[in-house]
Amino acid sequence: MKSLLRAFCIFCLGAILSIQPVLSCDVSDDTDFPRAAALAKSTKRPLLLAFIGTDWSISSLKLDREVFDQAEFADNSKYNFLLCKLHFYQTQERSPEIIRQNEDLATKYKVQDFPTVVVLSPDGREIGRLGYIPGGVKAFGAAVNAVIARSNQ
């Protein structure tokens, strides 16, 4: 009986851990830019395009670790936007399609510094830009929310 109960508990724990909550800050990777843009439009949420070079830019690495990788950043009670990370690696292999896509987006949005976070309205219009902001999730989230609030005035 104890082994049956233990097996049931392990099964339930595994099921709970495998459930991914629906969050207001959805994190996608560069291969999903078209999906992220379509999702932003259909859900009427702003889209953050994060142009980062985490293997060569210290500020990009800090932004990724201190903000994007934090569970608090995905807290849907505070942030209502989508995130699309656009990686510019120097040491990792990327497909030619992804490299071209990211370069085209960087050209379109005139990205010159890394990291650059371009904040887009749900319809794809640029409403603001951010870089690395010291202070972690709270400082960065407040800055994003301020950009979004200004665009809604």
Is 2 contained in some domain? Answer: no
Residue-number span of the structural domain to which 78 is assigned: 23-151
Q: The domain that contains 147 carries what CATH number?
A: 3.40.30.10
Has residue 28 got a pLDDT over 70?
no
Which residue, among 119, 123, 114, 126, has the nearest Cα to 144 in the 3D structure?
119
Kindly state the tokens that stand for 70.
Answer: 């934090």
74/96 Cα distance (integer angstroms): 30
Residue 2 has pLDDT above 90, yes or no: no
Token pair for residue 29?
């990777």
Structural domain includes residue 16: no
87 within domain boundaries: yes
Q: Which amino acid appears at position 91 of this protein?
A: T
In a domain, 18, yes or no: no
pLDDT of residue 72: 87
- Residue 114 forms part of a structural domain: yes
pLDDT band with cut points at 50, 70 and 90 for residue 20:
very low
pLDDT band at 94 (very low <50, low <70, confident <90, very high): confident
Which pLDDT score, from 0 to 100, does residue 31 have? Answer: 63
Q: What is the mean pLDDT of the chain?
A: 82
CA 26/CA 39 separation, integer angstroms: 10
Threshold 0.85, pTM exceeds? no
User: Lowest-confidence range among 15-24, 57-66, 85-94?
Assistant: 15-24
Backbone torsion region of residue 115, taken as left when φ is above 0, otherwise alpha when ψ lies between -120 and 50, otherwise beta: beta
pLDDT at 92 > cutoff 80: yes
